Amino acid sequence: MMRRVVVTGIGICAPNGIGLAAFERSLFKGISGIQHFQELEELNFSCQVAGKPNIEDINLNEYFDKVQLKGLNSSGVVYGTIAGLDAWKNAGLEPQLQEPDWDSGIIFGTGILGVDKFREAIYKVDSGNVRRLGSTSVVQTMASGISAYLGGIIGLGNWATTNSSACTTGTEAVLMGYDRIASGKAERMLVGSCSDSGPYVWGGFDAMRILPTKFNDQPEKASRPMSASASGFVPGSGAGALVLESLESALARNAPIYAEVLGGDVNSGGQRQGGSMTAANPVAVQHCIRKALENVKITAKDVDAINGHLTATTKDPDEITNWSSAMGRSGNDFPFINSFKGHFGHCLAASGSIECVGTVLQLKSGKLFGTMNCDDIHPKILEQVDPSKIVNSSMDYSPKIIAKASFGFGDVNCCVIFKQFKKII
């Protein structure tokens, strides 16, 4: 018997809000976290707007000790630690001060970690100042650095690792943590993902010419999911974190329960049948969605809403086609669908976890948050879906089941199914 798994804590460090209250408010009210960055203009970027968490007013002494703060120069580590520790606290849990917590582990993903620290290291090494790198340079730049930081601060004694699967990273981490608990190998797993910020992360995408260039003076309008005027994704950064827990453990300690994770599926299109390093194989995407529903033993008709990947590129209509084909639903029968990327851009490896937090907040609050900047819905989308199913503005609606998916570079796919939790008395 597979055990039931629930979400008992969430934490967020996003461009449009740090902390649950600020994040939920901005999602509900349509407040953008995308800004123009003078640094990008000075570096001759074509796209000079991005989403970056504002941590200026955050007291990092609440998250790191003095040794960890010394020489700390990795935005991903900072974002991930803020989100992860906030999620742990939100679940009503405390760090272990003596022996490790053998029943609790962490799977916290990333794409590129410590880019600014790498740059600092290159300059210091090339100038012969290698000893000035500091004692934390390695953990700031190794891929598993974020899991090492969080695991050590909290005292997690179960599985502690980092996954990396491009844009699917955060969503995939949720499934990995779910599997660990459902199979009885852990009681709790802190899952999530983070992404560094800055020109050294975003530059490659600007060079690929897949970012918008016409909104440098209107940053809040730049990210336009499902829109006919979408011209590329806005790069973003940040972190999202969720505490997953066995239902038995959560009930035993009277923990808050935000939602239930039913399970899902992850696969790869193998870069075949139209799939490539940067484009999804539509057959694989549809297979992932169908398998996710099959694995959790529900039908497509049971899905009330979808939080899509929907990056504000020309591929958005293709994603809608895949959802419609996989679920056998179209027109007015299509589930409600939204995207949060209009609020904060595409946060790369952090996108899945940040959007999973938003998805869970929808289930808990009984609302669907609006999709920013898609008043001019792409005509190819309207050929498949009734416009009433595109959530333009936040609305009161109590979804019971939401499908959350992410599709990433390398032709990798992940779909997680979340369900509203109601305690039976």
* One-character DSSP codes across 33-74: -EEE-HHHHHTT-S--EEE----TT--GGGTS-HHHHTT---
pTM over 0.75: yes
- Give the rounded percent of residues in the chain with a pLDDT score beyond 90: 89
Distance between CA 237 and CA 413 in Å, rounded? 20
* Confidence band, pLDDT 50/70/90 cuts, at residue 280: very high
CATH, residue 188: 3.40.47.10
Residues 380/319, Cβ–Cβ less than 8 Å: no
Whether residue 388 is contained in a domain is answered as yes
Mean pLDDT of 308-329: 98
Model confidence at 425: pLDDT above 60: no
Residue numbers of the domain that contains 293: 264-419
**Domain annotation covers residue 425:** no
One domain, residues 229 and 332: no
255/268 same-domain check: no
**Cα separation, 366 vs 386, whole angstroms:** 22
The pair phi, psi for residue 128, each rounded to 5°, is: 80, 15
* Residue 123 clears pLDDT 80, i.e. is over it: no
For residue 93, name the pLDDT band (cuts at 50, 70, 90).
very high
Last residue of a domain, one of 259, 294, 321: 259
277 and 255 within one domain = no
| Mean pLDDT, range 272-298, rounded to an integer | 97
Quick one: pLDDT band at residue 202, thresholds 50, 70, 90?
A: very high
pLDDT for position 49: 98
pLDDT at 74: 86
Q: What local confidence, expressed as pLDDT, does residue 424 receive? A: 61
What would the pLDDT profile of 399-411 be if each residue is shown by its tens digit?
999 999 999 999 9
- Rounded to whole angstroms, the Cα distance separating 320 from 343 reads 20
Nearest to 60 by CA among 75, 76, 82: 82
Confidence of residue 58 (pLDDT cuts 50, 70, 90): very high
Closest CA to 344 of 39, 52, 40: 52
Over residues 61-80, the pLDDT tens digits come to: 999 999 888 888 889 999 99
Looking at the chain, the whole-number percentage of residues with pLDDT higher than 70 is 100
Judge if 238 and 331 occupy the same domain: no
Spell out a b/e string for 50-66, using b for 16 or more CB atoms within 10 Å of the CB, else e: bbbbeeeeeeeeebbee
Q: Which of 225, 259, 293 marks a domain boundary?
A: 259
| DSSP secondary structure code for residue 111 in this structure | S
Please provide the average confidence, as pLDDT, over all residues in the chain.
96
pLDDT per position as a tens digit, 336-390:
999 999 999 999 999 999 999 999 999 999 999 999 999 999 999 999 999 999 9
Contact 372, 222 (CB under 8 A): no
Domain match, 61 and 199 both: yes
Q: Which of 219, 234, 259 is the last residue of a domain?
A: 259
Instruction: Say whether both 372 and 239 belong to one domain.
Output: no
Are residue 71 and residue 164 in the same domain, yes or no? Answer: yes
- Residue-wise pLDDT for 166-186, tens only, equals 999 999 999 999 999 999 999
Confidence of residue 32 (pLDDT cuts 50, 70, 90): very high
Q: Within this chain, do residues 255 and 285 fall inside the same structural domain, yes or no?
A: no
Residue 133 is predicted with a pLDDT of 74
Tokens at 372, concatenated: 């920013």
241 with 139, same domain?
Answer: yes
Per-position DSSP letters for 177-237, written without gaps between them:
HHHHHHTTS-SEEEEEEEE--SHHHHHHHHHTT-S--S-TT-GGGS--TTBTT--SPPBB-
Counting the structural domains of the chain, the total is: 2
Do residues 232 and 311 make contact, with C-beta atoms less than 8 angstroms apart?
no
Q: Determine, yes or no, domain membership for 424.
A: no
Report pLDDT for 132.
Answer: 74
Question: Which burial class, exposed, middle or buried, applies to 299 when counting CB atoms under 10 A from its CB (0-12, 13-18, 19+)?
Answer: exposed
With a CB cutoff of 8 Å and minimum separation 6, the contacts of 116 are 73, 74, 75, 196, 198, 200
Confidence of residue 294 (pLDDT cuts 50, 70, 90): very high
- The amino acid at residue 334 is F
